[in-house]
A and B are shown apart, each in its own frame.
Chain A
Amino acid sequence: MLSRVAESLVWMGRYLERADNVGRIVEAIDRLTIDNQHPELSNTEAFWEPVTQILAVEVEEDLESASQDELLDLLLFSEENRNSLFSCVVAARFNARSIRDQLMNELWEVINDLYLFLKESKKDAAKRINVSEIGSKVRFSIHCIRGLVESSMNRDEGWCFLMLGMKLEKSDQTSRLLDLKSFTLSEDGKHNEILEPYIQLAVIQVSGMEIHASRNLEKNWVLLEKALMFDLVNPHSIRSSVRKVNQVLHVLSSSKIGVFGNNAKKVCGRLQADLDYKSFDGMTGSDLHEYLDHIQKSLGEVFSGVLETYTHQSEEVFAQEQSQ
């Protein structure tokens, strides 16, 4: 497999998961803001500003004056915002197009179809933005892609790189989602009591944990954190995703678990151990933020490690490994 193709697969995986997450967050927050009756805080202050922070949106102007539609446009369609829903899908499609010969036709079709849908929606955005229609389309497209990959893709190198991209991004996004609390709730705890339930609701909806209503996650932040960070039963928990990354890394380098040939595997192994053995009573405030930050940094290291090992090899390394 060409190094460039491996790199495109990783990025394609990342952008697809990122698109899913952006869509879900915008959908959930959009719904919440309808209910917001806070006497002092505007929707922008309470919700949208923190969202732009966790989604790493570079905002030039002050958001205060922006209307709901302008905010939606920024997060969903803006081409200047590299992490907007549309930008992510465009990037995923571009990568898919560059490796078209490697992908199942249906996989291409679903990505292309989503792109064409968003392109049309973007044109209508000036009139109105139908958030639930867009959100639904994105969710189902990504579900379909995950299904295709899971059921029909050969477990070869291509699958490995795509998995790496998808799982690394998913764990990163889950950690950012949990961090929403850190950006929303203020140090002085002034509005926290009112805002906290909203945030929890948002996190539950975005992560798809609604079906576990019986576990009373809404009232219990600790349980929610545990479910999203450590629960092995939950396939989208950070721990489950990191485990998957670790497995794939070992498949790629065909070495035994516990044997570290490259930096990516080393960092990933350590991160997995951390998640496996952490005794968790519920972190709050800056402790939580710090821990999530640590997770994100480790994930970033794993990602650059992967690129370094499989794609950015220097010419000298190639010369040494030359085979006829």
Chain B
Amino acid sequence: MLFDNYSAESVYDEVFDSSGDVRSHYQKLIKRFKKLNPDEVDSIQNTLNLFFLKQGVTFTVYNDNQGTERIFPFDPVPRVIPKKEWELLEKGLIQRITALNLFLKDIYFDQKIIKDKVIPREYIESAAHYRKEFQGVKVPHDAYIQICGSDLIRDDQGKYLILEDNGRTPSGASYMLENRAAMKQVYPELFESMRVRPVAQYPKALHQTLQSLCLDKEKEAVCVLLTPGAYNSAYYEHTFLARKMGIPIVEGRDLIIQNDMVYMKTIRGLKRVDVIYRRVDDDFIDPEVFRKDSLLGVPGLMRAYAAGNVALTNAVGTGVADDKVIYAFVPKMIKYYLGEEPILDNVETYLANEKSDLSYILENLENLVVKAANESGGYGMLVGPKSTKKEVEKFRSLIKKDPRNYIAQPMISLSTHPTYCKDVAAPRHIDLRPYVLCGEEIQVVPGGLTRVALTEGSIVVNSSQGGGSKDTWVLDY
């Protein structure tokens, strides 16, 4: 019933292959779903929605002045990844984070990759989040990115590609955990029969990662989570993770720097802090060094950080790797630092700042996806084939004015997945955000957040622009 009129068109569909048959790793799931009628699925959807509403699993939207809390729409049809596919992704992600951390260590110290002319100096130095104040500042274990969310998509041949890296404050891990908890309530028998790998170990693994950053091994590291506060869009996630890890959640005003050491203000006086999982961006983290008007940070925190008296996750300055222009060089980084071919490829990327690329971009603007180098949330983006002439021309002048900050990519038709829309399952585009933890060892959580663009035909999956999510099941076989 649900799948009667399902047609995946000319893209790669996760569930149905080109002949319309169900792929082997989905068979048990689809068999179960085929038995359901829309009323039953509605009931499941209601149970799920109620779960999130009661828990207050929300994010805040700012486009109406009230800062409304919304439930992140959650689809009841999970995405399934078989073991072999996952092993490839895991290897590829570990390779990538290793190269990224080597890159960050290099550019903040010896800059060999620049001297060997693999990446032009001006791209690094003009990167919006390059923090030259931290040139030469050592970080524990030379690990800059401890928590990374590299987004993956599939092209129309079913090949996995890395869409972008998020090495500053990637979010969504709490939704991954809450999604799983909700799904367990509605499909308990499927979990057992399909041997889905658990994700519940994430908070513990994250806590261990944080603790590993404290260089003083004599004591138990005091870790805190620094949040911008209850009005931040991802606030629910901050409280959720802090609670699951058993660490205090603090705001800037709860911390104070004395003698270049970090303390939190407790009712019994000051308590020393060793590691801060900061969900506050570099720009706002210390009014002494970065934005002077920031009320979210801690004056003097960078002094404590530079002196090695406190560790930050992720380190200051990782944003240079998030820059979409720098993204284009990651395959080269993998070859340069590791001497290996990338296991997971980038999406083909053209840099507006390179003359030959620029002419190609301007000639083919209506067919390309253009992105600003440092925007996120799906903003500052042009999807050529789906835009009006006016929008295309607007981007043409933006690119010409500031070529350094624009890249273009061919429009990839992301893979689709059956998604429950108004009584039937319909194909919607999805991506995948796995979570990679880099502590004393690198761990990748089996699964992650599958985001789905709920609007038909849309490839923008971000929550702030009408996206939703699905649970992601990595199988044991």
Verify that A and B bind, or say they do not.
Answer: yes
Return A90 CB to nearest CB of chain B, in Å: 12
CB pair B264 A2 closer than 8 Å: yes
Does A2 contact B254, Cβ atoms closer than 8 Å?
yes
> In the complex, A225 Cα to B388 Cα: how many Å?
75
B55 proximity list for chain A (CB < 8 A): 105, 108-109
Give complex CA distance A321, B270 in Å: 7
A35 CB-CB contact with B under 8 Å: no
User: Is residue B438 within 8 Å, beta carbon to beta carbon, of the partner chain?
Assistant: no
**Shortest Cβ distance from B244 into A: residue:** A101
Report the minimal beta-carbon distance from B343 to chain A, rounded to whole angstroms.
Answer: 38
Given contacts A1-B267, A2-B248, A2-B265, contact A100 B239 (CB under 8 A): yes
Min Cβ gap B245→A in Å is 9
A31 interfacial by beta-carbon distance below 8 Å: no
Assembly CA distance A116 to B239 (angstroms): 20
Residue in B230, B235, B249, B267 whose CB lies within 8 Å of A3: B267
Partner of B243, one of A100, A311, A315: A100
Q: Cβ of B242 < 8 Å from any Cβ of A?
A: yes
What string of 1s and 0s marks CB contacts (under 8 Å) between A170-186 and chain B? Answer: 00000000000000000
Closest to A100 in B: B239
* Chain A positions within 8 Å of B263 at CB level: 318, 322
Number of A interface residues at 8 Å Cβ cutoff, please give it: 27
B271 touches A323 (CB 8 A): yes
Contact with A along B199-221 (1 / 0, CB 8 A): 00000000000000000000000
Which chain B residue has the least Cβ–Cβ distance from A324?
Answer: B272
A157 within 8 A of B: yes
The 8 A CB mask of B42-66 against A (1 = contact, 0 = none) is: 0000000000011110000000000
- Is B269 on the interface with A (CB-CB < 8 A)? yes
Q: Are A3 and B265 in contact (CB under 8 A)?
A: yes
* A219, CB-defined interface residue at 8 Å: no
Of listed A6, A100, A108, A113, residue having the most chain B CB within 10 A: A100
Binary flags per residue of B417-440, CB closer than 8 Å to A gives 1, else 0:
000000000000000000000000
Residue of A nearest to B251 (CB): A4
Q: Give the complex CA separation of A50 and B54 in angstroms.
A: 37
Give chain A nearest CB distance to B381 CB in angstroms: 32
A216-258 residues at the B interface, CB under 8 angstroms: none
- Chain B's interface size range is 20 to 34
Closest to A161 in B: B267
Known: A4-B251, A100-B239, A101-B239. A315 touches B271 (CB 8 A): no
B interface footprint on A1-32 (CB within 8 Å = 1, 0 otherwise):
11110100000000000000000000000000
Per-residue interface assignment for chain A, residues 56 to 88, with 1 indicating a CB less than 8 Å from any chain B CB and 0 otherwise: 000000000000000000000000000000000
- At the interface, yes or no: A97 with Cβ under 8 Å from chain B? yes
Interface string of B260-277 (1 = CB under 8 A from A): 010111111111100000
**Is A298 engaged at the interface, CB distance under 8 Å to the other chain?**
no
Whether a CB of chain B sits under 8 angstroms from the CB of A304 is no
**Which of A2, A94, A319 meets B258, CB within 8 Å?**
A319
Q: Mark A289-324, 1 if CB is under 8 A from B, else 0.
A: 000000000000000000000110101001101111
Is there contact, CB below 8 Å, between B249 and A109? Answer: no
A52 within 8 A of B: no
Please determine whether A97 and B239 come into contact, CB atoms closer than 8 angstroms. yes
**Across-interface contacts of A286 in B (CB, < 8 A):** none
Distance of A224 from chain B, by nearest CB (Å)? 39
Task: Kindly list chain B residues whose C-beta atoms are within 8 Å of the C-beta of A108.
Answer: 55-56
A26→B250 CA distance, assembly (Å): 38
B269 touches A318 (CB 8 A): yes
Interface: B256 (CB within 8 A):
yes
Q: Which residues of B contact A321 (CB under 8 A)?
A: 268-270
A3-B254, A157-B267, A311-B267 known; A116+B53 contact, CB < 8 A: yes
CB atoms of A322 and B266 under 8 A apart: no
Residue pair B270, A98 in contact (C-beta under 8 Å): no
Known contacts A98-B230, A109-B54; is A4 also within 8 Å of B239 by CB?
no
Q: How many Å lie between the Cα of A272 and that of B424 in the bound state?
A: 67
- Cβ-closest chain A residue relative to B248: A2
B56 partner residues in chain A, CB cutoff 8 A: 97, 100, 108, 112
- List residues of B whose CB falls within 8 A of some A CB: 53-56, 229-230, 235, 239-240, 242-243, 248-251, 253-254, 256, 258, 261, 263-272
- Known pairs A3-B265, A311-B267; list 13 more (Cβ under 8 Å): A2-B266, A97-B235, A97-B239, A100-B56, A100-B240, A101-B243, A108-B55, A108-B56, A112-B54, A318-B270, A322-B269, A322-B270, A323-B269
List 28 A-B pairs, Cβ < 8 Å. A2-B250, A2-B254, A2-B267, A3-B254, A3-B266, A4-B254, A6-B267, A97-B230, A97-B235, A97-B239, A98-B230, A100-B56, A101-B248, A108-B56, A109-B54, A112-B54, A112-B56, A311-B267, A315-B256, A321-B268, A321-B270, A322-B263, A322-B269, A323-B269, A323-B270, A323-B272, A324-B261, A324-B272
